[in-house]
Amino acid sequence: MQRFSALSLIRHSLGGHLGWQPQWRSPEPKAEYDAVIVGAGGHGLGAAYYLAKEHGMRNIAVLEKGWLGGGNTGRNTTIIRSNYLYDESAALYDHALKLWENLSRELNYNVMFSQRGVMMLAHTVHDVQIFKRHVHANRANGVDNEWLTAEQAKEFCPPLHIGPGLRYPVLGAALQRRGGTARHDAVAWGYARAADALGVDIIQNCEVTAIRRGTAGAVEAVETSRGAIRTRKIGVSAAGNTSVVMAMAGLRMPLESYPLQALVSEPVKPMFPCVAMSNTIHAYISQSDKGELVIGAGMDAYVSYSQHGALHIPAQTLEAICELFPMFRRMRMLRNWGGIVDVTPDRSPILAKTEVAGLYVNCGWGTGGFKATPGAAHLLAWTIAKDEPHPINAPFTIERFRDGVVIDEAAAAAVSH
């Protein structure tokens, strides 16, 4: 049954920065599924879609405690890039970027992927050295990235202030031209509609409250706010809440959860041509197709599960934005909000089967998992269907923290942690 209608529009209760959402009627959960995905963000919905499309599974449920796309998928600043340092990460994020390049066609849904270029600003000698190292490492891996002088950065992004008097002068920038943005809610809805068409049940207002394991330890059911559901395969894709869900199966995760905030301005005519990011002063900015400036702030300094953060953080971000782009000083801000991100010690994700038979996990994307959405979804589906990782996600285990084989991407994470 087709439960989706692009014509039935309701107001998104969050008032997220991209506005209106199609309505979704959730089916009643069945007593048993071949696979259950916990979390209807882009990663979970996408995993269900690829399980159905590429692995021939049909009896799949995606369980969501709130509404689909209402987690970080609907709260992020939509920056997409693959300019990470290490070989493992370059393979992972570029796998996702290649899927982005065909996603609107794949889903027959316009996800408004726009390769307008992502420019990372360098403000110190240390930044220059780190970003140049990224440029060289990326190019050696076949990932596009180039070094710009301050003047070239201004030419690429005319609103950028590179004159004297800046607290943090612009010394140059790394530019990934294939990077850009997409419409975040469209990604959730595109995957949801495509998964639904393949028979996947997407069940909102259905919180997973316990994971039942059989005598041999393998998973056998989830308890939910809408009753128990039997299943032999559970994929947890519950960003921000992963530790809580995994603890239900008796697993302790190497994760911390933090609020991360963003805000949008009033809409204005097109004036900002690219994505500009400054890790050093915690500010990143682009302009959505609706005309709003989309601005991301730093992470809170304290762990928390609340979906809002400390107020001084966006205030500091706006100071930085006005310094870098003085023409925005008179803009008014419309809304700000937060999401909960879960962060690993090496700032790389975990995408793996676990020591509990039938339990798989996709988490730890921290401040940077939107860009990974199609790739993470594709690889999670593979891992669940085959009960083994794809070669691309094989390094992203939980055990790497025990064994010390970490993939330290702290310098490539946009937001300082």
Binding site for ligand PYC (CB under 6 A): 77, 79, 81, 284, 296, 367-368, 371, 414-415
Instruction: Choose one: 12-20, 23-31, 165-173, 239-247; the region binding ligand FAD (CB under 6 A).
Output: 239-247
Q: Which of 117, 190, 235, 339 binds ligand FAD (CB under 6 A)?
A: 339
Using the rule CB under 6 A, give the single segment among 12-20, 57-65, 107-115, 165-173 that binds ligand FAD: 57-65
41 binds, among ligand PYC, ligand FAD, none (CB under 5 to 8 A by kind): ligand FAD
Q: Could you give phi then psi for residue 212, rounded to 5 degrees?
A: -95, 135
Select from ligand PYC, ligand FAD, none the partner in contact with residue 320, using the beta carbon and a kind-dependent cut-off of 5 to 8 Å.
Answer: none
How long a stretch of residues is the chain? 417
Binding residue for ligand FAD, selected from 298, 314, 369, 375, defined by CB under 6 A: 369
- Of 242, 241, 234, 238, the closest CA to residue 211 belongs to 234
Q: Does 38 bind ligand FAD (CB under 6 A)?
A: yes
Contact 128, 134 (CB under 8 A): no
CB of 151 to ligand PYC, least distance (A): 24
The two tokens of residue 223 are 């308890």
Subset of residues 267 to 306 that bind ligand FAD, contact rule: CB under 6 A: 296
Residue 406 to residues 13, 88, 341, 391, 397: CA-CA distances in angstroms? 40, 11, 20, 17, 9
Residue 102 burial by CB count (10 A; 0-12/13-18/19+): exposed, middle or buried?
exposed
Which of these ranges, 14-22, 23-31, 250-258, 364-372, lies near ligand FAD under the rule CB under 6 A?
A: 364-372
d(CA 39, CA 278): 31
- Look up residue 372 and give its two tokens: 């990974």
Quote the distance between the C-alpha of residue 25 and its chain's center. Answer: 25
Shortest Cβ distance from residue 66 to ligand PYC (Å)?
Answer: 21
SS3 state at 62 = strand
What minimum distance in Å lies between the beta carbon of 127 and ligand FAD?
Answer: 19
Q: Could you tell me if 185 and 197 are in contact, meaning their C-beta atoms sit under 8 angstroms apart?
A: no
Bridge partners, residue 257, by sequence: 342
| Count, residues near ligand FAD per rule CB under 6 A | 40
Which stretch of DSSP H or E encloses residue 281? none
370 binds ligand FAD (CB under 6 A): yes
CB 245 → ligand FAD: shortest distance, Å?
A: 5
Q: Which of 86, 272, 360, 365 binds ligand FAD (CB under 6 A)?
A: 365
The listed partner (ligand PYC, ligand FAD, none) that binds 249, CB under 5 to 8 Å by sort, is none
Cα 269 to Cα 26: distance, rounded to the nearest angstrom: 38
DSSP 3-state of 337: strand
What the block records as the tokens of 312 is 């001084």
Per rule CB under 6 A, is residue 207 in the interface with ligand FAD?
yes
Q: How far is the CB of 165 from ligand FAD (least distance, A)?
A: 29
Q: How far apart are CA 140 and CA 84, in angstroms?
A: 12
Which residues make up the interface to ligand FAD (CB under 6 A)? 38-44, 63-66, 70-73, 75-79, 207-208, 237-241, 245, 260-262, 296, 339, 341, 365, 367-371
